[in-house]
Chain A
Amino acid sequence: MVWRTELMKNRHLFRCALSVLLSAAVLFSSGCKAAPSEKPIGAPVALHPPLGLPPVPIPPNNPPTKETIALGRRLFYDPRLSKDNTLACSSCHLPTTDFSDTVSLSRGVGTAIGIRNAPTLINTAYLPLQFWDGRAPSLEKQAVIPMENPIEMNQPHELALSKLKQDPTYRRMFREAFGTEDISLGRTENALASFERTILSGNSAFDRFQYGGDKNALTPQQLRGLVVFMTPNKGNCAACHTITPQYALFTDGKFHNLGEGADDEGTFKDLGRFSQTRIEADKGSFKTPTLRNIARTAPYMHDGSLQTLRQVVDFYAGQGNSNPYLDKDMKTIHLTGQDREDLVEFLKSLTGELPPNVGPPGKE
């Protein structure tokens, strides 16, 4: 035992020396070369949100350009971002299902199964915080998290970048977007975020009614559903799924506890927002999702446990699941059978158009 430890210590000393040398070399080489600029060089393009949406918030250091959007789009649909080249961002955020997927919990590389439902990416550009628990502060910071996540794409960033560097098309696109051929994580983040900012959806029947002056855009039943949606002691939905006089994101971007995922003890396996804030009352709170295109993004809720819109509306009719931190806005909900039918029909009026050029590149 003693003898073996001694040997290991020696070997360890040797490894230490080696790594000191190596890291010195790395420091030296990176000291010589400035990190590649992550600022797009092209002319910023204006994003034109459809009817019912406000202007898109744009970070000053990453204005979307034609080149960064095109690059982000190629990256979004590229399975090389995953360990075994099988999963692209688009594998869980499918353009055919409005950038969500059809399973309750997303499948990662190999046999990995995630813990949460993949949310739609439409209009995610407006959200102040990304993810169900809000753990990413921006689209830029969000973009590279799934790449390394073991239950998603499961590939070290260095490896992903080295794969991209072997592709002359990427070298050209990074140069056109950022000025040099350098393929860095920061540039990848910026390009993906700029592409995602173009995935906007509005101009639904609801928008044409509410903001377009088309009084016939909603059916009488949908109109009744809208009233239920807005009325505090009926649906009370707009308390969290916000509609303003100028536009509607159908989310307040905040975190609420509906009791979804509460177990038989009234506790939560997935603690949601609490995992970020450590505030006791945040246990079981999740970010209010948008309701746009909701008829096309089943299953529902952070755990994908509700299969149909009818089930969601019935869940609210029952005032959710009791637990110590249930949101007070859940307790004022009162829905008759007719209200519930009307609400479901109203939710179907929120399906809008997708822009023409957000599908796989080269296929528009």
Chain B
Amino acid sequence: MSFFTHRGFRGFALSCIASALLVAGCSKKAEQPAATPSQPAVSYYKVDPGTAATLTGTVYYKGKAPARKLIDITEDPACVEAHKGKAYDESLMVGKGGALENAFIYIKTGLEGKNFETPTETVVIDQQGCWFHPHIFGVQTNQPVKIVNSDPVTHNIHPVAAVNREWNHSQGPGDAPLNRKFPNPEVMIPVKCNIHSWMRSYIGVLDHPYFAVSKADGTFSLPNLPPGTYTVAIWQEKLGTQEQQITIAPQQHATVDFTYKGK
């Protein structure tokens, strides 16, 4: 008992001395200009607005478009209710004039050595009606990705990553969103739900902002592109990949179209 009191006292006395020293140290410092830690500032590549070009294009599917498959989600009755209407396969969506939707277009080479700043905007992937929204999307490395469950059922999102870390996480109805990042470039990461086998999404991760998903009319646009020589690549879930070389002059409005041949 007495030992404890004693030790307590010694501790107090020591801390008195320490705080006295601290006060002295502080007041001294205040007189001198604070030395700023000299950390090398990361320099990001800035696109010169005077020379920036734009690359646009359209993705086509040649041949008879297959009818979209109806997906059976009756395994989970709560999903049927939440989905509101029929669930159609999104893996090959061909519109008017053979316009191919949901292809992922990106600059594959030509940007080496340029360090692009990570966007702070959060990309949201929502699980609604036992379906991932969006189906295909891109993010920059380390860009915040927020995973939301809007459904009355539990999901278990599972990005089957090969370059990035593979993980899966349960998310019950009303659970807080998950906030994740993908630190490495990877095209594409298939995303599944461990509970609902039909749920599928794909994420393209790149260390630059030049990627796009073709819209319902098959078009895409990569604006604010520095002039240069590039490999433009396209990925489509069912039809695979293609590449084209292009050299883009300053301020040019360049176009690149892609065509997949139907079987």
- Residues of A at under 8 Å CB distance from B? 1, 5, 8-9, 12, 15-16, 19-20, 22-23, 259, 262, 264, 266, 305-307, 310-311, 314-315, 317-322, 336-338
Contacts and interface: CB of A to CB of B under 8 A. Distances in A.
Contacts of A15: 5
Given A266-B167, A337-B75, A337-B76, A317 B156 contact: yes
Interface in B178-218: 178-180, 193-195
A19 B2 contact: yes
Nearest to A18: B2
28 contacts: A1-B20, A5-B13, A5-B16, A12-B6, A12-B9, A15-B5, A16-B5, A19-B1, A19-B5, A20-B1, A23-B1, A311-B154, A311-B172, A314-B153, A314-B195, A315-B154, A315-B170, A317-B195, A318-B155, A318-B170, A318-B193, A318-B194, A318-B195, A319-B168, A321-B168, A321-B169, A322-B166, A337-B76
Top 4 nearest A-B pairs (CB, nearest first) are: A318-B156, A337-B75, A314-B154, A318-B194
Nearest to A315: B170
Contacts of A314: 153-154, 156, 170, 172, 195
A318 B154 contact: yes
A20 B2 contact: yes
A3 to B, nearest CB: 13
Interface of B: 1-2, 5-6, 9, 13, 16, 20, 75-77, 153-156, 158, 166-170, 172-173, 178-180, 193-195
B6 A16 contact: yes
A266 B153 CA distance: 23
A258 B249 CA distance: 55
> Which secondary structure dominates chain A's binding surface?
helix
Contacts of B75: 336-338
A319 B20 contact: no
Given A264-B178, A315-B170, 8 more contacts: A22-B1, A264-B180, A314-B153, A318-B154, A318-B194, A318-B195, A321-B170, A322-B166
Given A5-B13, A336-B75, A338-B75, A317 B169 contact: no
A234 to B, nearest CB: 14
Nearest to A318: B156
A12 B154 contact: no
A5 B10 CA distance: 11
Nearest to B167: A322
A322 B168 contact: yes
Contacts of A306: 172
Contact of A264 (B153, B172, B179, B193): B179
Contacts of B155: 318
Contacts of A322: 166-169
Nearest to A313: B154
Contacts of B166: 322
Nearest to A321: B169
B160 to A, nearest CB: 12
Contacts of A311: 154, 172-173
Contacts of A310: 154
Contacts of B20: 1
Contacts of A317: 154, 156, 194-195
Given A12-B9, A264-B178, A315 B172 contact: yes
A262 B156 CA distance: 13
B75 to A, nearest CB: 3
Which of A266, A318, A321 has its CB near the most chain B CB atoms (within 10 A)? A318
A320 B180 CA distance: 17
A19 to B, nearest CB: 5
A307 B173 CA distance: 10
Contacts of A264: 178-180
A16 B169 CA distance: 58
Contacts of B193: 318
A306 to B, nearest CB: 7
B223 to A, nearest CB: 32
Contacts of A262: 169
Contacts of A321: 168-170
A336 B198 CA distance: 12
Contacts of A19: 1-2, 5
Given A1-B20, A311-B172, A315-B172, A23 B2 contact: yes
B66 to A, nearest CB: 28
Nearest to B193: A318
A137 B179 CA distance: 39
Contacts of A22: 1
Contacts of A23: 1-2
B95 to A, nearest CB: 33
A311 to B, nearest CB: 5
A67 B169 CA distance: 51
Contact of B2 (A16, A266, A320, A338): A16
A303 B98 CA distance: 53
Given A318-B154, A318-B156, A12 B170 contact: no
User: Which interface residue of B16, B76, B172, B178 has the most chain A CB atoms within 10 A?
Assistant: B172
B192 to A, nearest CB: 10
Nearest to A314: B154
B1 A319 contact: no
Contact of A319 (B5, B9, B16, B194): B194
Contacts of A338: 75
A315 B193 CA distance: 12
Nearest to A316: B170
A318 B168 CA distance: 8
Contacts of B168: 318-322
A188 B166 CA distance: 51
B159 to A, nearest CB: 10
Nearest to B75: A337
